[in-house]
Amino acid sequence: MAPVGRSLPRVDGVAKVTGRAQYLDDLDAPGAWHGATVRSAIAHGVLEAIDVDPELAPALAAGELCVVTAADIPAKNVIALIEDDQPALVPIGGRVMHPDEPIALVAAPTRAQAFAAARRVRPRIRPLPAVFDVDAALAGAVRLYGDAGDNAFKRFLIRKGHASDDELEAVFAAAAQVIDGRYATSPQEQMYIEPQAMMADWRDGRCHIVGSMQCPYYVHKAMKALLGCDGDGVVIAQSVTGGGFGGKEEYPSMLAAHVALLARKAGRAVKMVYDRDEDIAATTKRHPCRTRHRLAVDARGELAAIDIDVVMDGGAYLTLSPVVLSRGVLHAAGPYRCPVVRVRGRVVATNHPPHGAFRGFGAPQTTFAYERQIQKLARARGEDPLALRKRLALRTGDTTATGQRLEASVGTDEVFAALEAVAGAPPARTGVNRHGAPVRRGRGVCFYFHGAGFTGSGEQRLAGRATVAATAHGFEVRSSSAEIGQGSITIFTQLAAAALGVDPALVTVIDPTTSRVPDSGPTVASRTAMVVGGVVDRAARAVRARLEAWAAGRAAGGSLAEHARAYVAQTGGELAETVTYEPPPGIAWDDATYTGSAYPVYGWATCLVDVEIDLDSCEVAVLRCVQAVDVGKAINPTIVRGQIDGGTLQALGWALLENVLYKDGKVANASMTNCIVPTFADAPELETLLVEVPYPFGPSGAKGVGEIPMDGPAAAVANAVEDALGAAFDELPISPEAIAASRPAWSAP
Amino acid sequence: MKLAIEVNGAVRAVDASPWKRLLDLLRDDLRLTGTKEGCGEGECGACTVLLDGEPVNSCLVAAGQCDGRRVTTVEGLAQGELLHAVQRQLVACGGAQCGICTPGIAVCAAHLVDRGLVDAGDAARAQVRELLAGNICRCTGYQLIVEAVIAAAREVASGRQR
């Protein structure tokens, strides 16, 4: 049977169900010390001194303890990413920017000793006024970033179909109907079940780092800057990684820096595994976001103009915020036809810990706003919410907000049809639940899209590479894509096997250790199967063609694997092909005007949610959640389904019960007890429908799938709750408290 | 304190503080690293093991409480290379993704299936969701784990009938 399109059991499955898979904390590391971090505890200030308790002196003198400060950094004190603004450790005299900022590091033979010693290293910080509110930050009361006075890390402006603000306002003035709404979404914790974990060891003059991560070459880049070495001076390896969801995109560089510095000074291997509380408090969250969204509708009920203003809280350092904002604004107008669009976006510095990558990467925030707006339009017009969306939806030949003409793989009609086929009747509007409480029920739908791969010309700039090699033992795939549970090594196995025409058992995807694999780009942006998988597919075809030509020249029969063995036996080396990503034809993007092909292709999805609200407890139960997603081609349907199910529940959690609460800039609910995520008992049966409208430039027609299920379900929940109660819900989460407070606005059932 | 604990069928003698967490005793003293730590406060269930046949969070159990008792970890589910039905179905149904919660879920689900606590009928889905609610998974949305546990329950039930 062909390897693509088949649910091959995941190649790491047995290791994971038997407990044999080795995560960082499982690795045997005899003699390794444990590291702990001394943090600021103050949101904004100047670090004046670091006091080391004299009680630590004997252990320090005996070499049984190691303390690292910024003074121990060999080269540049920076976590290199987009902008070099975040230090690895705040130097004396430097500015503390958030309450969990790393100040010093401690290593000791045991974890308990390290944590005990860390409590005896105390920063002395002169406090400065701190800013936690984006309006205050924009007003510039305190300067945190830049010279413009508004603390904005980044601003974007998209204009379509108009030249000036006056022109835009004229369309609104002439509109038959205007829908104007304000929306707010909360920060969200990734809550991977394996906390951040990393280990470093200096051997043969090189720094070896292994740990839980999504992007080995991001860590590689950061270590080169911090340690002042070239690419060979540091080797980054990934241990089996217990979930990422974006949370292990940029933050692992911070841990890597810390264990590298500790191992260098202690002269031995040092590992660092965060406690859950520390992980929740210090690492990145989804950007909280505020969106104002205005829709102008003409007399025929068509969209005449869309005007959107997005403001995100970036936290203390720039990290990935400009890119998150970019994806947010590029998705903000939604998959709807509209001649006039303005999108403005700002991401602002505050004294919260930096917000960062989380599945969806800005798009879930703006999707929530536009899908609430479309819902309000449907209610205002008395039009069926699904029919209205279908009527206004983008299709092949239409243009997006950036003027991109949609050419291929536009699954609009297919995802609507798939949803309609199973929708059935909405639930009875009133009733009684199993606790005997009165309930109201409602249905919500939504429609959304998600650009796959890096934004704009990002993929051309990255120029991701991957290698396929024929060896004496079969075929090897080498890329820096990290298996983080999403199934990439199984997908690559299937793609390479299909291209080579061999049994998947002959294909091995090796670990993404930087000394052994080319830079394929990061494991982010719904790009791994589509972009890197496409490169793997081409490399495998090239290997096959060369091997077959070589075998034909020798007039030798046999299988491709036999040719490979013969080739290695005769030449003494492997036959390898390294291929670089090539963009599909017709992709043009202008960064200056933010116009053109924002993404090479989009995934498309519809979602239907039925809810039941307990009128006594005000809890919302999700009775049904159907999601139809156009994935291009499901290379492994079970893995794709699992990806979509998982993203869907993260979205339902974000809608109803997840939240990160800040008090004076510090996470106030930094434990799994208080920072809750959905359990088995909270989750509905997920009805995931795979729709396949092939993408001609993706491997076997596949396109990105990892993030799209995170985008839509939250709006579908809000729309369903509104349908049930008659009150609008424009902020997340829709907690029982929010439901209770809305009681005066409820309509008669 | 000298402890004698039967772990996965073999009695192990360990000299450890009675206050040591069972989780640490398993991972550090016995090098059974299949049992994972996700939160250290009994919320996530990644460290689930069976103590005298009942599921517990090993991060909340003191080693001293385990003296003379039986502990089953994920390493004790398979018989040699023959996987437990729950393990086999987790692989077959796609119930494991990143895998860090999987050992705890496998242990707890194997307990449910072996005890016949999941029936093969219509109530199975709700039962599985209720009985596994102490194990958090962030990858799967739980759906394919539910499918896997039900498939394993059916497999084990039909094996009993034969």
Mean pLDDT, range A235-251, rounded to an integer: 98
* Cβ atoms of residues A316 and A352 within 8 Å: yes
pLDDT of the residue at B161: 62
Task: Convert the pLDDT of each residue in A635-660 to its tens digit.
Answer: 999 999 999 999 999 999 999 999 99
Local confidence band at A1 (pLDDT 50, 70, 90 cut-offs): low
Instruction: For chain B, positions 108-147, list CB contacts with chain A under 8 A.
Output: 125, 128-130, 132-146
Residue A32: pLDDT over 70: yes
Is B39–A672 a contact, with Cβ atoms under 8 angstroms apart? yes
pLDDT of the residue at A268: 98
pTM here? 0.98
Give the residue among A627, A608, A629, A607 at the shortest CA–CA distance from A702: A629
Dist CA A343 CA A293 (whole Å): 9
Mean pLDDT, range A378-390, rounded to an integer: 98
Is B78–A18 a contact, with Cβ atoms under 8 angstroms apart? yes
Residue A685: phi and psi, rounded to 5, are: -65, 130
Is B94–A642 a contact, with Cβ atoms under 8 angstroms apart? yes
Chain B hits for A28, Cβ within 8 Å? 31
pLDDT of the residue at A586: 83
Task: Convert the pLDDT of each residue in A97-121 to its tens digit.
Answer: 999 999 999 999 999 999 999 999 9
Average pLDDT, chain A: 97
Distances (CA, A) of B45 to A186, A192, A339, A342: 26, 13, 52, 47
Burial of B2 (0-12, 13-18, 19+ CB in 10 A): exposed
Dist CA A314 CA A296 (whole Å): 30
Q: What is the ipTM of this complex?
A: 0.98
Mean pLDDT, range B24-31, rounded to an integer: 98
Mean pLDDT, range A218-231, rounded to an integer: 98
Is A245–B138 a contact, with Cβ atoms under 8 angstroms apart? yes
Chain B hits for A242, Cβ within 8 Å? 36, 98-101
Question: DSSP code of B43?
Answer: S
Distances (CA, A) of A687 to A484, A690, B91: 24, 10, 20
Dist CA A190 CA A358 (whole Å): 7
Average pLDDT, chain B: 96
Pairing of strands A601-614, A620-630: antiparallel
Residue B121: pLDDT over 80: no
Residue B17 sits at the chain A interface (C-beta within 8 Å): no
Of B37, B41, B129, which is closest to A681 when you measure between CB atoms? Answer: B129
Give the residue among A571, A562, A542, A522 at the shortest CA–CA distance from A477: A542
Dist CA A611 CA B16 (whole Å): 51
Give the residue among A311, A316, A315 at the shortest CA–CA distance from A366: A311
Cα A216 off chain centre by: 16
Task: Convert the pLDDT of each residue in A43-60 to its tens digit.
Answer: 999 999 999 999 999 999
Q: Which of B59, B135, B142 to mutate to test the interface with A (most CBs of A within 10 A)?
A: B142
Local confidence band at A403 (pLDDT 50, 70, 90 cut-offs): very high
Chain B hits for A677, Cβ within 8 Å? 136, 138
* Cβ atoms of residues A374 and A336 within 8 Å: yes
Q: Per DSSP, which regions of A319-437 are E strands?
A: 341-349, 430-432
Distances (CA, A) of A350 to A394, A450, A654, A666: 37, 28, 22, 12
Is A194–B102 a contact, with Cβ atoms under 8 angstroms apart? no
CB half-sphere exposure, A547, CA atoms < 13 A: 34
**Helices A637-656, A713-725: crossing angle, 10 deg rounding:** 50
In the three-class reduction of DSSP (H, G, I as helix; E, B as strand; rest coil), residue A21 is classed as coil
The distance of B23 to chain A (nearest Cα, Å) reads: 13
Both tokens of A426, joined, read 């909405």
Nearest residue of A to residue B134, measured between CA atoms: A679
Task: Convert the pLDDT of each residue in A87-102 to its tens digit.
Answer: 999 999 999 999 999 9
Task: Convert the pLDDT of each residue in A696-737 to its tens digit.
Answer: 999 999 999 999 999 999 999 999 999 999 999 999 999 999
Residue A238's DSSP bridge partners are A211
pLDDT of the residue at B162: 55
The distance of A551 to chain B (nearest Cα, Å) reads: 38
pLDDT of the residue at A332: 98
Residue B52: phi and psi, rounded to 5, are: 50, 40
Give the residue among A527, A500, A170 at the shortest CA–CA distance from A323: A527
Is A19–B125 a contact, with Cβ atoms under 8 angstroms apart? no
Local confidence band at B159 (pLDDT 50, 70, 90 cut-offs): confident
Is A680–B74 a contact, with Cβ atoms under 8 angstroms apart? no
* Cβ atoms of residues A598 and A363 within 8 Å: no
Q: DSSP string spanning A116-181?
A: HHHTTEEEEEEE------HHHHHHTSS--S-SSSS-EEEEEEEEES-SSHHHHHHHHHH-SEEEEE
Dist CA A701 CA A697 (whole Å): 7
A517-540 burial, b at 16+ Cβ within 10 Å, e below that, comes to bbbbbbbbbbbbbbbbbbbbbbbb
Is B92–A9 a contact, with Cβ atoms under 8 angstroms apart? yes
Local confidence band at A506 (pLDDT 50, 70, 90 cut-offs): very high
Q: Rounded to 5 degrees, what angle do the CA atoms A444, A448, A453 make?
A: 150
The distance of B158 to chain A (nearest Cα, Å) reads: 22
> What single-letter amino acid sits at B142?
Y
Residue B160: pLDDT over 80: no
Local confidence band at A31 (pLDDT 50, 70, 90 cut-offs): very high
pLDDT of the residue at A190: 98
Mean pLDDT, range A624-639, rounded to an integer: 98
Beta carbons within 8 Å of A452's beta carbon, 6+ residues apart: A525, A526, A527, A530, A599, A600, A601, A602, A603, A703, A704, A705
Residue A174: pLDDT over 90: yes
Task: Convert the pLDDT of each residue in B40-67 to its tens digit.
Answer: 999 999 999 999 999 999 999 999 999 9
pLDDT of the residue at B122: 79
The distance of A486 to chain B (nearest Cα, Å) reads: 6
Give the residue among A4, A5, A10 at the shortest CA–CA distance from A487: A10
Tokens 């950061």 found at: A222
pLDDT of the residue at A60: 97
Is A679–B133 a contact, with Cβ atoms under 8 angstroms apart? yes
Dist CA A231 CA A220 (whole Å): 7
* Cβ atoms of residues B52 and B143 within 8 Å: no
The distance of A487 to chain B (nearest Cα, Å) reads: 7
Mean pLDDT, range A684-693, rounded to an integer: 98
Dist CA A484 CA A241 (whole Å): 5
Dist CA A433 CA A435 (whole Å): 5
Dist CA A440 CA A438 (whole Å): 7
Is B136–A485 a contact, with Cβ atoms under 8 angstroms apart? no
Mean pLDDT, range A131-152, rounded to an integer: 96
CB half-sphere exposure, A148, CA atoms < 13 A: 12
pLDDT of the residue at B89: 98
Local confidence band at A543 (pLDDT 50, 70, 90 cut-offs): very high
Mean pLDDT, range A431-444, rounded to an integer: 97
Of A21, A193, A680, which is closest to B129 when you measure between CB atoms? Answer: A680
Q: What is the dihedral of CA A595, A600, A606, A607, to 10 degrees?
A: -90
Mean pLDDT, range A304-312, rounded to an integer: 98
Dist CA B16 CA B63 (whole Å): 8
Task: Convert the pLDDT of each residue in B7-21 to its tens digit.
Answer: 999 999 999 999 999
